């Protein structure tokens, strides 16, 4: 199988919260020269706004629940219309429900495109919890660190831009438990949706970030890219 005949590459990075989708996407977007589109990032940007929608999103995300399908799907449609998505994209955190998966199927079909592959990153729950509780994000450039696995040199500041490191408001133990419950109940069924379409490849998320990147690149190379 090959990537799009026009050289485009449309991938979905799928998996539970904390499996490393964001970390991997940050590397892959450079290697593959396609935009990284993460609904979590789009929502966090919307949360900054002091508007009724911003406040509503903040509450839902803080509880570890899912934002309504219609709102997220509208964001994705707008984002995929942007000109930089023409050569493909790396979707991260979307789709997260069957309804979203069907919406995406129709959206790409309407535009005469198709998804090249859905990569399901897998990791045991205990490992996920350890990764999420130690995760710290640079408030300025978005770089991701981990207190134990990838510690910043100066505990409180980003190695790259010296920005202040923060813990995400939904990386608390209560919110993590809810996010994992929501993943199993609402997101996991999406795996079968793509399995049926013959689009799914499962990749082991264990190991160092570089090891996981290499596994992902093997999948991409098998697509002819
Ligand atoms: P993430 O950065 O992907 O872990 O997303 C952070 C939070 O944003 C999630 O826990 C949800 O509350 C919300 N979110 C992100 N993507 C979606 C989506 N596709 N559908 C609904 N809610 C989402």
| Per-residue pLDDT at 2 | 40
Domain count, the chain: 1
Q: Catalytic positions, please?
A: 21, 96, 135, 168, 179
Atom of ligand 1 minimally distant from the CA of 64: 10
Beta strands 9-14; 117-122: pairing state = parallel
Residue 2 resides in a domain: no
Q: What is the CATH number of the domain that holds 17?
A: 3.40.50.300
CA–CA distance, 218 with 225 (Å, rounded to integer): 10
Mutate to test the pocket of ligand 1, among 12, 15, 67 (most ligand atoms within 8 A of CB): 67
For residue 12, give every residue at least 6 positions away whose Cβ sits within 8 Å of its Cβ, in sequence order, or none.
91, 94, 95, 104, 115, 117, 118, 119, 194
pTM of the model: 0.92
Q: How far is CA 133 from the centre of its chain?
A: 18
Look up the domain containing 183 and give its range: 9-222
At 182 the pLDDT is: 97
* Interval between CA 40 and ligand 1 midpoint (Å): 5
Each residue's pLDDT, cut to its tens digit, for the chain (225 residues) gives: 345 567 799 999 999 999 999 999 999 999 999 999 999 999 999 999 899 999 999 999 999 999 999 999 999 999 998 888 888 999 999 999 999 999 999 999 999 999 999 999 999 999 999 999 999 999 999 999 999 999 999 989 999 999 999 999 999 999 999 999 999 999 999 999 999 999 999 999 999 999 999 999 999 999 988
Q: Which of 207, 221, 222, 43 is nearest to 121 (CA)?
A: 207
Residue 51 lies in a domain: yes
Average pLDDT, the chain: 94
pLDDT at 21: 96
The verdict on residue 98 lying in a domain is yes
């Amino acid at each position: 199988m090959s990537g799009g005949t026009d050289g485009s590459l449309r991938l979905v990075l799928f998996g539970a919260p904390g499996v490393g989708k964001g970390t991997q996407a940050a590397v892959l977007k450079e290697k593959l020269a396609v935009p990284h589109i993460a609904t979590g990032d789009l929502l966090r940007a919307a949360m900054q706004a002091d508007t009724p929608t911003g406040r509503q999103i903040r509450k839902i995300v803080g509880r570890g629940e899912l934002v309504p399908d219609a709102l997220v799907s509208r964001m994705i449609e707008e984002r995929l219309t942007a000109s930089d998505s023409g050569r493909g994209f790396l979707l991260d955190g979307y789709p997260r429900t069957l309804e979203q998966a069907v919406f995406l199927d129709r959206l790409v079909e309407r535009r005469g495109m198709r998804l090249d592959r859905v990569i399901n990153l897998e990791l045991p729950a205990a490992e996920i919890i350890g990764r999420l509780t130690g995760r710290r994000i640079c408030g300025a450039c978005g770089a991701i660190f981990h207190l134990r696995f990838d510690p910043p040199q100066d505990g409180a500041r980003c190695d790259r831009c010296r920005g202040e490191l923060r813990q995400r408001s939904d990386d608390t133990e209560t919110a993590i438990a809810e996010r994992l419950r929501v993943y199993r109940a609402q997101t996991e069924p999406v795996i079968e949706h793509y399995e049926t379409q013959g689009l799914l490849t499962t990749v082991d998320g264990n190991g160092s970030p570089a090891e996981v990147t290499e596994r992902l690149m093997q999948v991409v190379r098998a697509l002819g890219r």
